[in-house]
Amino acid sequence: MENSAQFSPDGNQVAFQSSRSGDSEIWLCNSDGSNPVQLTSRVGAATGSPQWSPDGHHLVFHAYTDGQGDLYAISAMGGSPRRLTRGPDDETQASWSRDGRWIYYGSNRGGERQIWKMPVEGGQSVPVTRAGGITGQESPDGRFFYYSKAWRGELSLWRLAPAEQQVLKSIHNHSAFAVVDDGIYFIEKSHATGGASIRFIGLSGGQAREIMAADKPVVVGLTVSPDRGTILYTQVDREDSDLMLIENFR
């Protein structure tokens, strides 16, 4: 299983979550998929959702330790990860502010899932959303904050500007959007085919246009290359199960 791909700021590399080593880990590869390199090793269970720092030198990701999600940062060159959060709360789905000074993340502290932010060098976290939030990212100019949340039985897209505004009534999953200079790429679920549609809508609203339709199930992750020439998303090509026989187990 390989998902949650993210282009580096220069577009030359892709960070992604993969189980090819036997465990869920963060990997890097060239933008064409060549030269895959494992970046993390057994930080925790379900290590995933990598996000590049604006300068391309570091990545932030989450991993589950002791049954809860915590955030870590690691150099893009490799080495030991630095743990950013500790405690009883589940903290996942991180992203960087455009100036590289803050890390946004989702947390269930207080009982309801909201988005918080913390200084990159560590310190006190402060709340960003007050009425729910799962995954978020700043607009390229840093003026607005876009985020997904559950609303009236749907996953929808919102922004703080500075008051909360709904942008899209429905998106396919919590990370199925990417904000660019003049608009938003997003994935919309197709109830008719079971697949999904990748679409683009301008920041001023209007009619969304379809980029492509996928006839297979689509799961978490959407990223657009800096030159806007390539979109990466995760599609389920195959699901397998096997029957296994255990002999002499007593």
pLDDT in tens, 48-69: 999 999 999 999 999 998 889 9
Query: Does 193 score more than 80 pLDDT?
Result: no
Angstrom distance (rounded) from CA 221 to CA 141: 22
Report the share of the chain in percent with pLDDT over 90.
Answer: 79
pLDDT at 191: 63
**Angle formed at CA 34 by CA 29 and CA 37, multiple of 5 degrees:** 40
pLDDT at 249: 79
Ranges in the chain annotated CATH 2.120.10.30: 1-128, 137-237
CATH fold of the domain at 137-237 = Neuraminidase (2.120.10)
Mean pLDDT over 10-26 rounds to: 96
The pTM assigned to this predicted structure is 0.91
| Chain segment 64-96, per-residue pLDDT in tens | 988 899 999 999 999 999 999 988 899 999 999
pLDDT at 210: 94
pLDDT at 192: 62
| Chain segment 118-162, per-residue pLDDT in tens | 999 888 999 999 999 999 999 999 999 999 999 988 999 999 988
Query: Does 248 score more than 90 pLDDT?
Result: no
CB under 8 Å to 95, separation ≥6 — which residues? 51, 60, 103, 104, 105, 135, 136, 137, 138
Mean pLDDT over 221-225 rounds to: 94
Q: Which residue has the higher pLDDT, 131 or 45?
A: 131
Q: What is the CATH number of domain 1-128?
A: 2.120.10.30
Structure tokens given for 86: 């500790």
Q: Which residue has the higher pLDDT, 35 or 249?
A: 35
Give phi and psi for 75, each to the nearest 5.
-70, 145
Q: What is the CA radius of gyration of the chain?
A: 18
Angstrom distance (rounded) from CA 137 to CA 140: 9
In terms of Cα–Cα distance, which of 178, 193, 187 is closest to 138?
Answer: 178
